[in-house]
Chains A and B, each alone.
Chain A
C-alpha cells in the first residue's frame, strides 16, 4: 500500500467515532404471555401426535410424528431458549451445531444404505 494513503486513515477513523456504540444486543425480556401461548401450542401438538399415532398411515406415521417433534423442538429453541431474541453469535452457534449434526447423521445413513448397494 502507498504511504500517502496511510496518512488518511486516522482522519477517516475520527469521522466515524460514535459516543456510545452498542456492542451487544438490547436486553430482551420475553413476556409470560408468549411463554403461555408456546406452552399451550406444545401441549396441543403433544395431544395431536398421540392422537395421530392411533390412525394407520402406514410408513407416514413415522414421518408425521417426527415432523411434529421437529416443530415442537423449534418452538422450544426459538421461544423458551430465547434464540429468536438472541445475538447473532448465539444464533450462528446453534445453527452451526444443528447443521454439523445433520451432516453427521446424513453421512452415517448414506454409508449404511449404500453398503450392500446392488446386492438386495
Chain B
C-alpha cells in the first residue's frame, strides 16, 4: 500500500468504523444507489449539452438550405483528410477511454493510468490537427469578423474551379464559416475542458483513488468524453462530406 492510499484511509477512518466504504456519502443508502444517482445526474447534464449543440446543428441545416451555394463552396474549402484523421483520432480516444473505465472497474491502477494517458495524447492530437486547419483558414482569409475576404469564392479554387459565386452569394460564405467556427470552436472548448479534467483525474488516479471501488468519476468522465465524440461524429459529415458533389 503506497503512502497516498494510507493517508486517504487515515483521514476517512470514521467512515470505515461505520462499516461502509469511505467514498459512500451518508445521504445514500448504499454504493449502488449512489452510483445510479451519479449516472442519472450525468445523463441529465449531457441532455442539456445535446440541446445546446442541437440548436447549432438546427441553425446549420436552415442556413445551409437558405444560402445553399455559399455553404457548398465553403464546405469545398475544408480538407477532407483532416476531418477523417480527426474522426479516427477521436474514435480511438473513445476506445481508450472505455478501456480506462474497464481498468477502473477491474481495479487495475497501472492500466488505468496508461489508458488515461493515451486518451490525453489522442485528444491533444485532435486539437493539433484542428489548430492546423484553423491556421489554414486564417491564411486563406476565411475567418469572419477578423480577416474575411469573399474574393476567393468569386473566382473558383484549384480543386473546385466551378465554384464561382456571385458577389452577394460569395459574401454569404461568412455565414458558413461563422457556424463552422462556432461549432468546431465549441467542440474544441469541450475537448480542452475534457483534457483538463482528465489530467486532474490522472493525478488523483496515481494515488489509487479510483481503483478501490470508487469508479463513478472515471465512469462519468467517460460519458462526457464519448458525448464529445458523438458531437464530432455529426459535425464531420455535416461540415466536410455532404456538400462534396453539389
State the A residues within 8 Å of B (CB): 23-24, 27, 29-32, 35-36, 38-39, 42-43, 46-47, 49-50, 53-58, 61-62, 65-66, 68-69, 72-73, 76-77, 79-81, 86-87, 89-90, 93-94, 97-98, 100-101, 104-105, 108-109, 112
Contacts and interface: CB of A to CB of B under 8 A. Distances in A.
Nearest to A83: B43
Contact of A50 (B40, B80, B98): B80
Contacts of A42: 91, 94-95
Contacts of B199: none
Contacts of A27: 32
Report the 10 A-B pairs with minimum CB-CB distance, sorted nearest first: A65-B237, A39-B95, A97-B47, A53-B241, A62-B242, A24-B32, A56-B245, A42-B91, A35-B98, A50-B84
A29 B241 contact: no
B239 to A, nearest CB: 11
B54 A66 contact: no
B119 to A, nearest CB: 12
Contact of A93 (B40, B84, B105, B106): B40
Contact of A101 (B33, B39, B50): B50
A61 B244 contact: yes
A61 B241 contact: yes
Interface of B: 32-33, 36, 39-40, 43-44, 46-47, 50-51, 54, 57-58, 61-62, 65, 80, 84, 87-88, 91-92, 94-95, 97-99, 102, 105-106, 222-223, 226-227, 229-230, 233-234, 236-238, 240-242, 244-246
A68 B237 contact: yes
A35 B99 contact: yes
Contacts of B46: 97
Given A35-B99, A80-B98, A93 B244 contact: no
